[in-house]
Structure 1
Amino acid sequence: MQAEDGGEPIRVVLADDEAMLRRGLRLLLETSGTIRVVAEAGDGHELLTAVRAHRVDVALIDVQMPGKDGLSALRELMVLPDPPAAAVLTTFDLDDYVSEALRHGANGFLLKDADPAVLVRAVHDLAAGGAVLDPRITARLLPRFRGATDNAHEVQLVRGLSARERQVLELLADGRSNADIGMRLGLTEATVKSYVSTVLSKLGAQNRVQAALIAQRVAGVGDRW
């Protein structure tokens, strides 16, 4: 199996205690021809073992697993040398673990029943160093973090962005991929990637998830973009 650019496929580990779900996700991802699931894990212990045994680009992790749960495993995963990009697999029933997952280094949140094309694109974005938010959960996730930091400071940071950078941030906060942003703004993906990097730097955000949270908080205090 080779990636669409002729290179190596993206190497993924799936961690979920439901075997049928793992099999379905494996089939979905590997059908793309650009992704290879190198291991499956039923709990956090198996996840860590798999990551240590394989070269892994992306880990998709369910939080609520028996034994060592996803959060505990995520915390240990992020201190390993060269850890994979990690995204949380979730449902609409978001709990308080969301903030902890972000704190431990999660690069995004994906719904288990997401459209196949969305999941495949998300894995590619994660492997490329980005972070992802399923558009359907953005509205539910971000309001939980309103007022969590100094809004006045964040308002000033957002106001310091150029008009184009604000457009990119607004679409990023909606959970749009680089490809989606490019189509909406008439830009190439490479140009969008450059804009996203600049926006993250100016906002002091480590990844797209944090930038999206900042954007939502600023919108929550009535700042005009």
Structure 2
Amino acid sequence: MNTSGSVRVAVVARGEVARGGLAAMLAEAAHVDQYSVYEPEEFTAAAPVDAIQTLVLSCDVLVVWCVNAFGTGEDAWAAELTAVVRRNGIRVVLILPGAEVQRVASGQALPCDGVLDQDALTTEGLDDALRRLADGERLVLEPATWAPSSRFSGQEARPRTEPSIGLLTERERQVLELLVDGLSNKQIGQALGVSEHVAKRSVAVVLSKLNCPNRTQAVAVALREGLVGTGESLRT
């Protein structure tokens, strides 16, 4: 059980965008002391023992971003990795698409200690969930009362309108990609060759078009909808 109030976190996720988005959130999370990010391939090599040992020693909670709760098909690596990690006393939380979260909210036993909804993920909700997991809680879904937008965020449920994804210009998509990378307005301006004021205004336009109240919500939408993911960065 963690008693220091700070959490060491490891992330394993397929896709650079997912890893970058989670890293950006963890960098802002109040209770996260340190975090490390890994690709699944590091644990599916012929002899992954060293990688798994490093992972176990580096974290209190493992965050796994995948699409299938039970680790079947392309997510078979997730089931194998979480089983080994949990045997070593590490807590595991799965971050799943909203539809998959609803599918497994039937009380079925899952190979993890908690589940979070990709579609409703916020920095605050992720931070709170990690703190609770490190303190020994198990974030169990309760089918009768569970609501995707409020289960882990501590906020009241409210209807979500669909983001105006198709209205993003090419430059706005570049801004969104830099948001996913965790850049500040000043850094976005430098990357795009514009002033910080122009960058701030561009960020506001992107948030408005995506119907997002803040940057972390925009990152979650970008990851969910696949709005970025070319793997190319504007930074040199």
Q: TM-score, normalised by structure 1?
A: 0.48
The structure showing larger relative contact order (alpha-carbon pairs under 8 Å, at least 6 residues apart) is 2
Higher helix share: 1
